[in-house]
């Protein structure tokens, strides 16, 4: 008898999300409760972290009788979700021992759950020194830079003069030094918070994950408190939140 059942309508978005999870780790724990799902995962040698909350309203149907921690192979989950055709729904259910995926086209998969003993992370409240919104095109441009240099990126910040009445835009300057090429780019953006932010550096792997968020086709909030990880976050249809820390 199923203790948990959820029906996913937007398979494209959910598959994009599980593909993001796979970039952090192969085995990921899903914490089911009557209110929805909490997912936390470390990645890249514990240098990056993702926290996601999916409210029960994210699903067209959601039922969970009790709290359940279910860990699965993201590679396997993504292989299954690829089988769903455009417009099809996928229903997931579990009795606590196995997870079943049922696709509308009479295709079903029973997968073995994995015992994953990891402690939950607690993220402290932060007072941000910097915040801006990034559209997908900006992230795609940044991805081209890291693909070219195969290296990290240093972000520095230049503010517009208070006497400049023609623009509200400031500049975030990207510098990436590779073995064969150095790339510098000035990105004009509106800084929502700019309390003397210090330079920050993100490694190649972290930048590849961060720039892959363009695949959600949503505006991404980039923010940080000085000397703390850089956060990239966004909402999923008003019923879910995704926070990535690097």
Find out whether 19 and 13 touch, Cβ atoms under 8 Å.
Answer: no
Which residue in this structure is represented by tokens 């505006």? 219
Distance CA 100, CA 240 (A): 23
Q: Residue 155, exposed/middle/buried by CB under 10 A (0-12, 13-18, 19+)?
A: buried
Which residue in this structure is represented by tokens 């990290």? 152
Instruction: Please name which of 119, 138, 101 lies closest in space to residue 29, comparing C-alpha atoms.
Output: 119
At a CB cut-off of 8 Å and minimum separation 6, what does 13 contact? 216, 236, 237
- H runs (alpha helix) in 43-160: 74-81, 136-149
Angle between helix 204-211 and 136-149 (nearest 10) = 150
Per-residue model confidence as pLDDT tens digits over 159-180: 875 555 455 789 999 999 999 9
Instruction: Please name which of 65, 27, 23, 31 lies closest in space to residue 48, comparing C-alpha atoms.
Output: 23
φ, ψ at 78 (rounded to 5°): -65, -35
* Residue 107 pLDDT level (bands cut at 50, 70, 90): very high
pLDDT of residue 1: 67
- Judged against a pLDDT cut of 80, whether residue 120 lies above it is answered with no
Per-residue model confidence as pLDDT tens digits over 68-82: 999 999 999 999 999
């Amino acid at each position: 008898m199923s203790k948990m059942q959820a029906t996913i309508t937007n398979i494209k978005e959910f598959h994009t999300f599980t593909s993001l999870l796979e970039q952090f780790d192969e085995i990921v724990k899903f914490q089911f409760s009557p209110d929805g799902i909490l997912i936390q995962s470390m990645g890249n040698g514990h240098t990056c972290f993702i926290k996601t909350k999916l409210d029960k309203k994210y699903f067209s149907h959601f039922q969970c009788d009790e709290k359940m921690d279910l860990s699965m192979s993201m590679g396997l989950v993504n292989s299954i979700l690829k089988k769903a055709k455009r417009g099809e729904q996928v229903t997931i259910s579990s009795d606590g021992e196995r997870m079943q995926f049922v696709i509308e086209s009479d295709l079903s998969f029973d997968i073995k759950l994995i015992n994953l003993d990891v402690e939950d992370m607690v993220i402290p409240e932060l007072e941000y020194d910097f915040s801006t919104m990034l559209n997908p095109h900006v992230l795609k441009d940044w991805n081209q830079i890291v693909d070219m240099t195969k290296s990290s990126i240093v972000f520095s910040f230049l503010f517009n003069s208070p006497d400049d009445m023609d623009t509200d835009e400031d500049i975030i300057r990207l510098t990436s030094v590779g073995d064969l090429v150095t790339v510098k780019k000035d990105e004009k953006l509106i800084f929502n918070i700019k309390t003397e932010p210090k330079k920050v550096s993100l490694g190649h792997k972290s930048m590849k994950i961060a720039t892959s968020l363009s695949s959600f086709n949503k505006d991404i909030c980039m923010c940080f408190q000085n000397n703390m990880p850089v956060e990239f976050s966004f909402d999923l249809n008003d019923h879910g939140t995704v926070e990535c820390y690097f």
